[in-house]
Structures are given as structure tokens and as C-alpha cells.
Amino acid sequence: MATCFIIGAAGKVGQKLTRQLSSKGHTVTALHRKPEQAEILQAAGAKPVAGDIQQLSVTALAELMTGHDVAVFTAGAGGAGIALTNAIDGEGLKLAVAAAEQAGVSRFMLVSAFPDAGRGKTPSEGFENYMRVKRLADAELVASKLEWVILRPGTLTDEAGTGRVHADLAIPYGEVPREDVAATLVGLIENPAIKYQIIELTKGDQQIDVALQRLQRG
């Protein structure tokens, strides 16, 4: 069983991930910003830890992360503006990577953005900035000393997960339920042989464990 530290645990994917990991016997520490989120995360099976990645220092976050096997960064500004996107999706990721390195948390999972997001539409300044920041965050993690995996889901939906996905290094763009994104992250956490890969994800026809098998590298 893994000990997991989730940044962005109170988000829609984060809560589902927390619940799924806990139900399978993994130990979850859930970083949250708002006091009222603690009870929700505790009910999902996590140990809630208060902290704001916009305020924490590298050392303070590293102290919270020490003793964990894997960190998952699924935090995001959610379209709340350029400044907040830069602070959370950009600087927040840099902070988390540095803290994980300092804390000795070797494995790091990042929920990023599918490169085809928004294609065919007229992008706003905020969306262009979002994609730029996400790309730089990916590069920041790849350049680190961590054993990283970057997951790029397609358009996120709230429909029920099916447990069936299309996951590979490059796939056509599409939608994917948040529940299946969380389940894929669980699969990645449970398969440490999958590392140093950028994986694109949509809904599909393969069971998640089967889809991830071909991505394993010993």
C-alpha cells in the first residue's frame, strides 16, 4: 500500500481520488485550503492537512510531505483568472516539485492539460495563458529529479465513470469522466514501473488496468 500526498484534494478529481485510494487501503494525506473542506476529506478517508500552496514555503510544504511515497498534484485555478492560474498551476507546481525533492518523495503525478484542448474555438487570453502555464509546468516536472508521470485528460465530465479508457502516449482528443481520471491515477500509483511518461487519457473501450499494462516499463 502507498502513502499518498494529494495537492488539490478538495477539487472534483481530488475528492474522487482520495475516496478511491482510501477504499483500496492506501494512506492519503489531503492538503486543503478552506477549513470546511477538512470534514469532507476526512469522510472520504483522508487525513486532512491545512495549507495553501500560495502561502507555504518549500520547507513548510516539504515537512508536510515527508514520509509519503507519492505526491499527486491535481490543483488548478479552474479558469479563475490569469493571476490565479499563474500562482496555482504554475508557481504552485514549482513549489510542490521542490518540496517533494526536499522531502524525499520520489514519485510525483501531475494532472495536466490535453494539448488539443480548445482546438476549433477562438481562444481567450486567459485560455492561452492557461495552456502556456500548463506546458511550462510539465517541463518543470520533467526537468526534476523525481520519478514523474504526467497525465493529460481530455475534456472532464461529471458523468459516471465506466472503468474503461483510452490511454496512450498520443491519442485523439475526447472527453473523460473525472471518476475515470481518478481511477487511472490510482492505477498509476499502483504501478511504479510506469514512470517518465506523458500519458493522454479519454474515455475508451479498455479496462484501466489493461490500458496501463502496455505503458509499463521495467
pLDDT attached to residue 89:
92
- Residue among 23, 26, 31, 43 nearest 7 (CA): 31
Q: How far is CA 99 from CA 62, 93, 139, 147, 188, in A?
A: 4, 10, 17, 14, 21
Assess whether 196 carries a catalytic annotation. Answer: no
Residue pair 102/35 in contact (Cβ under 8 Å)? The answer is no
pLDDT attached to residue 218:
42
3-state secondary structure of 188: helix
pLDDT attached to residue 52:
94
Q: How far is CA 92 from CA 61, 142, 202, in A?
A: 11, 16, 26
Q: 124 Cβ partners below 8 Å, 6+ apart?
A: none
Task: Look up the pTM and report it.
Answer: 0.94
Please name every residue paired with 166 in a beta bridge, in sequence order, or none if there are none. Answer: 202
Mean pLDDT of each 10-residue bin along the chain, 218 residues long: 96 97 97 94 96 96 98 87 92 97 97 79 78 94 97 96 96 96 98 96 96 79
Kindly name the residue from 5, 130, 134, 211 that is annotated as catalytic: 130
